[in-house]
Amino acid sequence: MEIQDILSVAKGSLEKEGVRFALIGGFALAAHGVIRATQDIDLLVDGGKRGIARKALIDAGFVLAFENSEVLHFSGLGQLDILLANRDSTLDMLRRARLINDFPIPVVSAEDLIGLKIQAYKNNPDREFQDKADVQALLKTVTKLDFDLIKKYADLFDEWEFISNLRKRK
């Protein structure tokens, strides 16, 4: 199944059940103008609708491969990774998500994507080089950024110096 088809099935299943979601990860980068190879679809989904989302995606043909309190990983129709919005900061990301650049589903803001990238490499150092490169590419590509919001995320992980240094290179 093509990636667009996988996204369409996931979108239709979640929308039908009234589950709020937004694109994150590599395809969200593409929506913001940063192109890099990726093989899966990553979505941020309202954690309060976790059970509804899980059932809707399984009913659509996805196979639940892994689950914990923070994520759902699906295979079957294609690789679909769900990050559950369980906290105010990620629920705010969902509220800020918008349709952009002809993408068929809401996409988190570039600032929120930067925050997720910082969290990802701080939680898993094996991701550091790719995620830092993604942050750098977003800073170079997206012209209007809310640096107060980015600083809020960076300060959570003591990464503001890194972000500041990247801004100087722009």
Specify the pTM: 0.95
Q: Residue 143, by phi and psi: left (phi above 0), alpha (psi -120 to 50) or beta?
A: alpha
Give the tens place of pLDDT for each residue, 106-124: 999 999 999 999 999 999 9
Question: What residue spans define the domains of the chain?
Answer: 1-108, 109-170
Give the tens place of pLDDT for each residue, 35-91: 988 889 999 999 999 999 999 999 999 999 999 999 999 999 999 999 999 999 999
Cβ atoms 82, 53 nearer than 8 A: yes
Q: In Å, how far are 2, 36, 63, 115, 164 from 33, measured between CA atoms? A: 21, 10, 31, 17, 21
Q: Which of 9, 24, 2, 4 is nearest to 62 (CA)?
A: 9
> What CATH architecture does domain 1-108 belong to?
2-Layer Sandwich (3.30)
The total of other beta-carbon atoms located within 10 Å of residue 138's CB is: 22
**What is the distance between the alpha carbons of residues 146 and 131, in angstroms, rounded to a whole number?**
19
Half-sphere CA count of 74, side-chain side, radius 13 A: 25
